[in-house]
């Protein structure tokens, strides 16, 4: 976007939010923005790079202690097939919410760089750039989390704001004389926070997350400018993108749920316009835990985020495996549920992440929530938010069945979207009970999500991966093969989806086989998956030339039998 178009676009968005308030502030910001034009021309990322990405999500300290340790493991990640790292919170934080409580937007936590807290910022910056250079040398992109809705109560802005109404930072936050404002805003941390208001002195401040994370007040235009400048700082350091944490909540309005408001979309458009001008194809990834019809508003027309998580698809994969039926997945990806998005936009898909297996009623029915919870919450203390989630790793949820874990990966890796792997799931990492108990003591919160985090013991991993009989070895081997094939074909990240119906010997549809074609230009990959723990007989003309031959994953497809069909083994999958 050229200078004049950028200026006009930013001015339009500003006026829709603030009228003519502080217009001189906008003009100064635009003048500063123009200084980035040379950077823009020299560092633009390739268009749509995130569509072909294999994303690996990790906590630096839990993965391998420091950025130096992470750098030492880049060869391992490259070998797995990873070409994009999503760094879970790395910015300076008191760590009461795993780093989502940001204390300083311009500083990486010194401990992650093996530096004392009083080390010069210049040294910290140098070491972080050293890591980025090492990742980029292996063609691995790097994105990280940035919470735009709230800060830590230890952030300089809030420490100043609580001094009183005369402080210039007071209006960076939302204050009230009582705790009765925004009554329609749902409580996000039920069972852990009793209210969205917290008392500080004689007043209350508003927060959607924990009581130590005050929400920012985007009615104050200075907050918008400050946040843009934070993004610009990291783009100038060569970061490839940002996971925009909790963006549906940015704007608050009395008489509403304070979610997905028009002004929130305007703010996101402002961020995107700034990033597109400074460094085209910088990824802005929407963390909007909403129904697809709401999420597409953040990504659908290319004016806001480049991509967004498909939250509802994840629990429907688990439902499909629990009931051995393809219908939950087909229904979720139906255009009536998941509207189409612009060519340049993308869904991001996942099986597990740093949070719970989310069963929020905002996109999961009460019936589905109950079913999935009963099927997968194998022990009561995995429960999260009173039945609205399950805190367990993939291997635990699948009861350490390597074939079932691999099938789940096959579904995620072959459906439309960009896949995310959560650190450790590639070798069937278990829940970490010791880390969970440790974090309860540290934070004072019984947050079961800590079960799905925890450190990697690399000596133990080496033992697993050298033992062909271990679940870790089996999962790692199968997953590596799928990633290698996926990276050979643009059809997976960019292609169309065509559902294929398999039939039995009586020509009736076989509901427990999930099959589809992924097509892009001359590429066509047929994916065949048995969602059942039992052998399944299927007939299909499309399989005639595949029987008895190797699929793309190097597996021998079953031979046709006397009934002119094939029998799929339990949890079997083929990419043809």
Q: What is the CATH number of the domain that holds 535?
A: 2.60.40.1180
- pLDDT grade, residue 332 (50/70/90)? very high
My answer on whether 511 and 390 are in the same domain is: no
Q: CB under 8 Å to 15, separation ≥6 — which residues?
A: none
**Annotated catalytic residue: which of 61, 198, 245, 388?**
245
- pLDDT grade, residue 256 (50/70/90)? very high
Q: Residue 516: which H helix or E strand, with range?
A: strand 513-520
Tell me, what DSSP letter sits at residue 416? Answer: S
My answer on whether 269 and 307 are in the same domain is: yes
Q: What is the pLDDT of residues 341-388, one digit of tens each?
A: 988 999 999 999 998 888 877 778 999 999 999 999 999 989 987 778
Could you tell me if residue 43 is inside a domain?
A: no
> Range of 515's domain?
495-575
My answer on whether 426 and 509 are in the same domain is: no
pLDDT of residue 164: 95
- 456: domain CATH number is 3.20.20.80
State how far the Cα of 376 lies from the Cα of 415, in Å rounded to an integer.
22
Q: What is the pLDDT of residues 381-408, one digit of tens each?
A: 899 877 788 999 999 999 999 999 999 9
Neighbours of 175 (CB within 10 A): 19
My answer on whether 505 and 567 are in the same domain is: yes
Q: CB under 8 Å to 322, separation ≥6 — which residues?
A: 371, 372, 375, 376
My answer on whether 469 and 566 are in the same domain is: no
| Model confidence, pTM | 0.95
360 is catalytic: no
Q: CB under 8 Å to 329, separation ≥6 — which residues?
A: 313, 316, 317, 320, 411, 415, 514
Sheet holding 175-176: strands in order across? 175-176, 203-206, 197-200
**Over residues 264-286, mean pLDDT:** 95
565 against 234, higher pLDDT = 234
At residue 41, does pLDDT exceed 60?
no
State how far the Cα of 492 lies from the Cα of 523, in Å rounded to an integer.
10
**Over residues 113-137, mean pLDDT:** 96
My answer on whether 420 and 545 are in the same domain is: no
At residue 68, does pLDDT exceed 80?
yes
Give the lowest-confidence range in 36-40, 88-92, 129-133, 300-304: 36-40
- pLDDT grade, residue 565 (50/70/90)? confident
At residue 283, does pLDDT exceed 60?
yes
My answer on whether 450 and 499 are in the same domain is: no
At residue 182, does pLDDT exceed 90?
yes
Residues above pLDDT 70, as percent of the chain: 98
Number of domains in the chain: 2
Q: CB under 8 Å to 460, separation ≥6 — which residues?
A: none
At residue 38, does pLDDT exceed 80?
no
Could you tell me if residue 23 is inside a domain?
A: no
At residue 521, does pLDDT exceed 60?
yes
Could you tell me if residue 532 is inside a domain?
A: yes
My answer on whether 340 and 230 are in the same domain is: yes
Unique residue bearing structure tokens 């990486």: 108
Sheet holding 573-575: strands in order across? 496-499, 513-520, 523-530, 573-575
Neighbours of 263 (CB within 10 A): 16
At residue 549, does pLDDT exceed 80?
yes
At residue 575, does pLDDT exceed 60?
yes
Q: What is the pLDDT of residues 471-483, one digit of tens each?
A: 999 999 999 999 9
My answer on whether 276 and 129 are in the same domain is: yes
At residue 22, does pLDDT exceed 60?
yes
Query: In degrees to the nearest 10, what's the CA dihedral of 60, 62, 66, 67?
Result: -20
Could you tell me if residue 255 is inside a domain?
A: yes
Domain edge (last residue) among 453, 486, 519: 486
My answer on whether 428 and 546 are in the same domain is: no
Residues above pLDDT 90, as percent of the chain: 82
Could you tell me if residue 8 is inside a domain?
A: no
At residue 572, does pLDDT exceed 90?
yes
Burial (CB count <10 Å: 0-12, 13-18, 19+), residue 426: buried
**Over residues 325-335, mean pLDDT:** 96
pLDDT of residue 562: 63
78 is catalytic: no
pLDDT of residue 37: 64
At residue 268, does pLDDT exceed 80?
yes
My answer on whether 352 and 501 are in the same domain is: no
pLDDT of residue 446: 85
**CB-based burial, 461-483: b 16+ in 10 Å, e otherwise:** beebbeeeebbbbbbbebbebbb
My answer on whether 265 and 116 are in the same domain is: yes
pLDDT of residue 542: 75
Could you tell me if residue 160 is inside a domain?
A: no
Domain edge (last residue) among 486, 513, 546: 486
**Annotated catalytic residue: which of 101, 276, 287, 360?**
287
Helix locations, 197-338, DSSP H: 221-236, 262-278, 292-299, 313-323, 327-332
Could you tell me if residue 57 is inside a domain?
A: yes
- Beta partners for residue 516, in sequence order: 499, 527
pLDDT of residue 147: 95
Could you tell me if residue 31 is inside a domain?
A: no
**CB-based burial, 308-333: b 16+ in 10 Å, e otherwise:** bbbbbbbbbbbbbbebbbbebbbebb
Unique residue bearing structure tokens 């050229």: 2
Domain edge (last residue) among 441, 459, 486: 486
At residue 189, does pLDDT exceed 90?
no
Average per-residue pLDDT for the chain? 93
What six digits make up the tokens of 436? Answer: 């969970």
State how far the Cα of 230 lies from the Cα of 275, in Å rounded to an integer.
11
């Amino acid at each position: 976007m050229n200078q004049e178009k950028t200026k006009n676009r930013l001015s339009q968005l500003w006026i829709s939010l603030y009228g003519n308030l502080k217009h001189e502030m906008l003009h100064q910001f635009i003048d500063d923005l123009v200084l980035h034009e040379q950077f823009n021309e020299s560092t633009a990322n390739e268009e749509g790079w995130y569509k072909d990405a294999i994303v690996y999500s990790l906590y630096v300290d839990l993965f391998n202690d420091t950025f130096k340790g992470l750098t030492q493991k880049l060869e391992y990640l490259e070998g797995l097939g990873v070409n994009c790292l999503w760094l879970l919170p790395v910015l300076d934080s008191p760590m009461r919410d795993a780093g989502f409580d940001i204390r300083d937007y311009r500083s990486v936590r010194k401990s992650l760089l093996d530096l004392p807290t009083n080390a010069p910022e210049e040294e910290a910056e140098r070491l972080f750039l050293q890591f980025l250079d090492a990742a980029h040398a292996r063609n691995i992109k790097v994105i990280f989390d940035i919470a735009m809705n709230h800060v830590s109560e230890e952030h300089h802005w809030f420490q100043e704001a609580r001094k009183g109404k005369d402080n210039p930072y007071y209006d960076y936050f939302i204050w009230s004389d009582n705790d009765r404002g925004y009554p329609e805003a749902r409580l996000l941390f039920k069972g852990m926070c009793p209210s969205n208001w917290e008392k500080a002195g004689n007043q209350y401040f508003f927060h959607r997350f924990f009581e130590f994370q005050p929400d920012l007040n985007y009615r104050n235009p200075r907050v918008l400018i400050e946040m843009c400048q934070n993004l610009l700082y990291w783009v100038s350091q060569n970061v490839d993108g940002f996971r925009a944490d909790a963006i549906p909540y940015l704007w608050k309005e009395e008489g509403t749920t304070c979610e997905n408001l028009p002004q929130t979309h305007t703010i996101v458009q402002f961020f995107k316009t700034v990033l597109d001008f400074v460094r085209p194809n910088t990824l802005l990834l929407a963390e909007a835990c909403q129904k697809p019809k709401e999420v597409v508003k953040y990504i659908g027309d290319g004016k806001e985020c480049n991509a967004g998580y498909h939250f509802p698809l994840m629990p429907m994969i688990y439902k499909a495996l629990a009931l051995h039926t393809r219908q939950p997945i087909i229904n979720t990806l139906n255009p009536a549920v998941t509207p189409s998005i612009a060519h340049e936009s993308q869904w991001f898909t996942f099986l597990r992440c740093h949070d719970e297996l989310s069963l929020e009623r905002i996109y999961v029915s009460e019936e589905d929530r109950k079913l999935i919870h009963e099927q997968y919450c194998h022990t009561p203390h995995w429960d999260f938010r009173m039945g609205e989630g399950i805190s367990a790793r993939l291997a635990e949820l699948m009861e350490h069945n390597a074939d079932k874990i691999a099938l789940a990966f096959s579904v995620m890796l072959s459906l439309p979207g960009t896949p995310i792997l959560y650190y450790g799931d590639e070798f069937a990492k278990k829940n970490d009970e010791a880390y969970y108990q440790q974090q309860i003591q540290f934070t004072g919160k019984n947050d079961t999500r800590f079960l799905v985090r925890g450190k990697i013991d690399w000596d133990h991993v080496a033992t697993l991966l050298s033992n062909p009989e271990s679940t870790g070895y089996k999962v790692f081997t199968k997953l590596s093969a799928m990633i290698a094939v996926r990276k050979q074909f643009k059809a997976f990240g960019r292609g169309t989806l065509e559902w294929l119906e398999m039939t039995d010997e009586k020509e009736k549809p076989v509901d427990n086989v999930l099959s589809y074609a992924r097509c892009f230009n001359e590429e066509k990959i047929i994916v065949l998956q048995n969602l059942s723990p039992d052998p399944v007989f299927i007939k299909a003309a499309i399989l005639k030339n595949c029987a008895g031959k190797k699929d793309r994953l190097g597996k021998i497809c079953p031979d046709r039998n006397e009934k002119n069909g094939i029998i799929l083994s339990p949890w079997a999958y083929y990419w043809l």
